A and B are shown apart, each in its own frame.
Chain A
Amino acid sequence: GENVEQHPSTLSVQEGDSAVIKCTYSDSASNYFPWYKQELGKRPQLIIDIRSNVGEKKDQRIAVTLNKTAKHFSLHITETQPEDSAVYFCAASNTGNQFYFGTGTSLTVIP
């Protein structure tokens, strides 16, 4: 099966700075890469996703980049705000129904 590794496990940034979270995957057939945000005690929520035919996707302050050759994809959050503090999970899918999740990154934005 697929193996997804996520780094770092914890990340602290000053408000207004950028945050970058990186994931690597093992299966070159993986073709869909979503990112989820989970606030404490809440359900994960999809924040952005990218498919293998695209190298970069942006949505306001959030962007995701994909390097298929190196088998890694990254989440970029610019102009961070305290409400961005949460745990972020990456995932990869090759069959469409079995998503393999990373172990999460706990992001703290310091006001």
Chain B
Amino acid sequence: NAGVTQTPKFQVLKTGQSMTLQCAQDMNHNSMYWYRQDPGMGLRLIYYSASEGTTDKGEVPNGYNVSRLNKREFSLRLESAAPSQTSVYFCASSVGANYGYTFGSGTRLTVV
């Protein structure tokens, strides 16, 4: 039982490049989330998917897109990376609304 698996763990991009962060969970959770974590700012929600087939914007969605591929997988795409997107990205899942999260191990992204 792996929980929430994120790939890659580290990535360096040049400004303007694109990439997709992958996330998969094996706990049969309905809801999945993408957060970014910046020093002194806590965790901020980028996008979430309350259930398979739905996605919604969070607090900081600009510059990102997501795809809920199936119940297990939720990917985050940066179409044209900017230095302001340098951060640690966490994927999370939960049984549903108002339940605690299980987080993935994170992706440390640097945009130069």
Chain B associates with chain A:
yes
Residues of A at under 8 Å CB distance from B? 1, 6, 31-32, 34, 36, 42-46, 49, 51, 89, 91, 93, 95-104
> Size of chain B's interface in residues, with CB distance under 8 A?
24
CA distance A91 to B90 in the complex (A): 16
Within 8 A of A (CB), among B3-36: 31, 33
Q: Are B98 and A104 in contact, CB atoms less than 8 angstroms apart?
A: no
Contact B48 A97 (CB under 8 A): yes
Is B76 an interface residue, CB under 8 A from the partner?
Answer: no
Checking A36, A43, A45, A51 against B98 with a beta-carbon cut-off of 8 angstroms, the contacting residue is A51
User: In chain B, what residue has the closest Cβ to A87?
Assistant: B42
Residue of B nearest to A96 (CB): B97
The distance in angstroms between the C-alpha atoms of A42 and B50, with both chains bound, is 25
Taken together as a complex, chains A and B put the C-alpha atoms of A31 and B44 apart, in Å, by 19
Task: With both chains docked as a complex, state the minimum distance between the C-beta of B8 and any C-beta of chain A, in angstroms.
Answer: 15
A contact residues around B48 at 8 Å (CB) = 97-98
A6 to chain B, nearest CB (A): 8
Determine whether the beta carbon of B59 is less than 8 Å from that of A43.
Answer: no
Q: Is the CB of B31 within 8 A of A89?
A: no
Which one, B42, B97, B100, B103, contacts A97 given CB within 8 A? B97
> In the complex, A12 Cα to B52 Cα: how many Å?
43
Give Cα A104–Cα B44 distance, bound, in whole angstroms: 12
Kindly state whether residue B41 has any CB partner on chain A within 8 Å. Answer: yes
A49, A93, A103: residue with the most chain B Cβ atoms closer than 10 Å: A103
Contacts of A93 in B (CB 8 A): 97-98
Given the complex of chains A and B, what is the CA–CA distance between A98 and B35 in angstroms?
Answer: 11
On whether the beta carbons of A97 and B101 are closer than 8 Å, the reply is no
* Other A-B pairs, 12, CB within 8 Å; known A34-B100, A46-B101, A93-B98: A1-B59, A34-B101, A43-B105, A44-B90, A46-B100, A95-B97, A96-B97, A98-B48, A99-B101, A102-B42, A103-B40, A103-B41
